[in-house]
């Protein structure tokens, strides 16, 4: 790998992790955007339009982790900025307070939307929501879960545990 390619890859990796959404609010000091960025995969493929981490792909920063079979990053035209991140195959996005799982996830940095599809599971503590498609807006911290096929039709299902009264 040439030195300029290494530098480009480092800038791209940094840009994507800094742009990864944090479900449930702003980053805590332990999850600071200034935290070191680590990434890895069995293989890395670099193209003029971005790069891909292939096989056991993982990007971490602070206490946030994105893991999938493959992570594709698309860069903006002519710049090192990332405009789209696509994770495919056994996708997990984990923060200190939430875990998100799906078959595929796409994060569009232009719209601030993270779309997770497949057998989607969103967990926060013991609380769990299941569906077929989750659309989460990182900027407004709002989301919508669409139903997954069940014997009773398309449904969103969940279990919530109320906090105990002390």
Percentage of the chain with pLDDT > 70? 75
d(CA 77, CA 147): 36
Q: Which structure tokens are listed for 36?
A: 């070191």
Domains observed in the chain: 3-159 (2.60.450.10)
Task: Mention every residue, 6+ apart, whose C-beta is less than 8 A from residue 122.
Answer: 23, 98, 99, 100, 101, 128, 129, 130, 134, 145
pLDDT tens-digit series, residues 66-122: 899 999 988 876 555 778 889 999 999 888 888 999 999 998 888 888 899 999 999
């Amino acid at each position: 790998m040439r030195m300029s390619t290494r530098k480009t890859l480092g800038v791209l990796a940094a840009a994507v992790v800094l742009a990864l959404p944090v479900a449930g609010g702003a980053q805590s000091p332990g999850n600071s955007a200034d935290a070191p960025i680590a990434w890895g995969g069995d293989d890395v493929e670099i193209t003029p339009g971005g790069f891909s981490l292939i096989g056991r792909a993982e990007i971490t920063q602070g206490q946030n982790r994105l893991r999938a079979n493959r992570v594709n990053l698309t860069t903006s035209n002519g710049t090192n900025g990332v405009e789209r991140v696509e994770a495919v195959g056994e996708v997990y996005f984990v923060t200190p307070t939430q875990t998100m799982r799906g078959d595929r996830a796409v994060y569009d940095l232009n719209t601030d939307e993270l779309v997770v599809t497949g057998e989607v599971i969103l967990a926060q503590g013991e609380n769990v929501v299941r569906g077929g498609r989750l659309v989460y807006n990182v900027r407004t911290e709002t989301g919508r879960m669409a139903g997954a096929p069940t014997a009773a039709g398309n449904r969103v299902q969940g279990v919530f545990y109320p906090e105990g009264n002390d």
